A and B are shown apart, each in its own frame.
Chain A
């Protein structure tokens, strides 16, 4: 087991115990030996990815995924200036909850990506097609992550992807309906589907490769 694996194990344990101070100590120690950017994109991203995978396979609960991402986001915000760990070679990514006010899924993805050094614009919840098309065009968003809770909202994403067709904007969807029907993301014309934070991190890393 190499040093990074040991650090990941330690950070994972601290996060699952909701031990904020121990998690901060582990992150600070890792940063002293490396750099804030490396800590974000390796230690934190890989730890949160592992926690996300454990939720996906049923061995952890969503509350643990949320608290872990929140703690990491708080620590990294507190201890490092953004310029030292945030990737700059990224497409412009935004996230919204589509036609709903249940914000937990979006919040987890935002915290996970930010703590891992990936900048993301949080557009909030309760947004429909017209508002999102306007925002995407005005803000020149290149990747739009959408979280939904209900099936009828998920199906209406088709209107949005149709309106954005040809613009080059990538629409990535996630949320309960897409977990229960693995073909639904294609039906609604999305570019990709993220079932959990692990997927979100992998999709964003892939997008970054496309830019480089």
Chain B
């Protein structure tokens, strides 16, 4: 099977030839090309070359041209701070006074030059992938973007006490998110990963989710012209597992803090489970540990399809060593073949 056939079979809750692997490496491309993270992400060609090398090396079943989380903030004129050994991070939030939300305007994707390098990377990968390797585009959900726009604490306060500002912020962010997701699909992305950590049950209650993140996701995903996966970036989602399928998403990116067997059961035949290797711990795993953990996850979650092996955060840390990443790949290729054999 090609990676695309493998992934589509898993998404239809059937068993492909082996468990699909989304090894979501981003910064590792800079290591492969021998350049700094800042230089690597400055040019679409670097990212496309990096992804092609990484996909081949680890036999991953997708290209993942995700640059960095605050690229959408950068597009709005916000600050991005680069690091030598970690993902670019957002600086001081650019909405300093919540009242500014009333006059807030976000750019159109066409006018935001920094986003064009992502679109170019997707186009370059599409030329290589054809229809054989899925290309996963990424957006920050309208509901989670405010953490970077204004800071989490101020955001929680307007969520509770200023529905006028909250609704206005959602309206502006939804238009931006839909535009950005559709631009990536048009450039050649196969599907969009909708990062929504604030909707996770670690962050807000089920009731709050119903009144906010759920409503926003339902409205937004309906206008994204392609398949979507919702990722909680290490946050829990079991308490809202019955609601997620109603948002229109096809996949849930789940946390290592929740039992993968329980998640698989909760999402059975409704959503595909993506996860849930611990990306932080992975940095100190031995090859033997890696193999044992991958086997355990596969045995719990892979039978019947509807499962893609990945880390639980949606981005593998720069510090995750090559031997661990190769061991994940090796184990899935040896022990992830269907039918899954126990032991």
Residue of A nearest to B84 (CB): A152
Known: A61-B201, A63-B203, A180-B234. A152 touches B319 (CB 8 A): yes
Q: How long is the Cα–Cα vector from A143 to B151 in the complex, in angstroms?
A: 26
Chain B positions 89 through 105: 1 when the CB is less than 8 Å from some CB of chain A, otherwise 0: 11111000000000000
Name A165-183 residues within 8 Å CB distance of B.
176-177, 180-181, 183
**Chain B interface, >50% SS class:** loop
**Chain A interface, >50% SS class:** helix
Q: How long is the Cα–Cα vector from A91 to B184 in the complex, in angstroms?
A: 54
Q: Which residues of B contact A100 (CB under 8 A)?
A: 89
Q: Which of A18, A107, A152 contacts B318 (CB 8 A)?
A: A152
Q: Which residues of B contact A151 (CB under 8 A)?
A: 86, 280, 283, 317, 319
- State how many residues of chain A have any CB contact under 8 Å with chain B: 30
Chain A positions 55 through 78: 1 when the CB is less than 8 Å from some CB of chain B, otherwise 0: 100101111101100100000000
Q: How long is the Cα–Cα vector from A184 to B280 in the complex, in angstroms?
A: 9
Q: How long is the Cα–Cα vector from A61 to B92 in the complex, in angstroms?
A: 25
Q: How long is the Cα–Cα vector from A101 to B283 in the complex, in angstroms?
A: 24
Q: How long is the Cα–Cα vector from A175 to B65 in the complex, in angstroms?
A: 28
Tell yes or no: B165 within 8 A of A by CB.
no
Tell yes or no: A102 within 8 A of B by CB.
yes
Q: Which residues of B contact A150 (CB under 8 A)?
A: 86-87, 89
- Determine if B205 and A63 form an interchain contact, defined as CB atoms under 8 angstroms apart: yes
- Determine if B319 and A181 form an interchain contact, defined as CB atoms under 8 angstroms apart: no
Pick the interface stretch among B136-144, B153-161, B302-310. Answer: B153-161
Q: Which residues of B contact A153 (CB under 8 A)?
A: 86
Tell yes or no: B286 within 8 A of A by CB.
no
CB distance from A1 to the nearest CB of B (A): 26
Q: How long is the Cα–Cα vector from A62 to B87 in the complex, in angstroms?
A: 24
- Determine if B156 and A66 form an interchain contact, defined as CB atoms under 8 angstroms apart: yes
- Determine if B279 and A126 form an interchain contact, defined as CB atoms under 8 angstroms apart: no
Q: Which of B157, B236, B239, B281 contacts A181 (CB 8 A)?
A: B281
Q: Which residues of B contact A183 (CB under 8 A)?
A: 284
Name B274-318 residues within 8 Å CB distance of A.
278-281, 283-284, 317-318
Most buried by B among A60, A181, A183: A181
Known: A104-B151, A155-B319. A61 touches B86 (CB 8 A): no
Q: How long is the Cα–Cα vector from A150 to B234 in the complex, in angstroms?
A: 12
- Determine if A103 and B205 form an interchain contact, defined as CB atoms under 8 angstroms apart: no
CB distance from B29 to the nearest CB of A (A): 17
- State how many residues of chain B have any CB contact under 8 Å with chain A: 37
Known: A152-B85, A152-B317. A107 touches B203 (CB 8 A): no
- Determine if B280 and A180 form an interchain contact, defined as CB atoms under 8 angstroms apart: yes
Q: Which residues of B contact A70 (CB under 8 A)?
A: 157
CB distance from A68 to the nearest CB of B (A): 12
Q: How long is the Cα–Cα vector from A167 to B343 in the complex, in angstroms?
A: 52
- Determine if B156 and A152 form an interchain contact, defined as CB atoms under 8 angstroms apart: no
Tell yes or no: B147 within 8 A of A by CB.
yes
Q: Which of B87, B153, B202 contacts A61 (CB 8 A)?
A: B202
Q: Which residues of A contact B83 (CB under 8 A)?
A: 152
Q: How long is the Cα–Cα vector from A70 to B159 in the complex, in angstroms?
A: 15
Tell yes or no: B53 within 8 A of A by CB.
no
Q: Which residues of B contact A18 (CB under 8 A)?
A: 160
A-B contact pairs, 10 of them (CB 8 A): A58-B201, A60-B205, A61-B201, A66-B156, A151-B283, A152-B86, A152-B318, A155-B85, A180-B234, A181-B283
B residues adjacent to A (C-beta < 8 A)? 83, 85-87, 89-93, 147, 151-153, 156-157, 159-160, 201-205, 208, 234, 236, 239, 256-257, 278-281, 283-284, 317-319
A residues adjacent to B (C-beta < 8 A)? 18, 55, 58, 60-64, 66-67, 70, 100-104, 107, 126, 149-153, 155, 176-177, 180-181, 183-184
Top 7 A-B residue pairs of the complex, sorted by shortest distance between their CB atoms: A152-B86, A180-B280, A104-B152, A181-B280, A152-B85, A61-B205, A151-B317
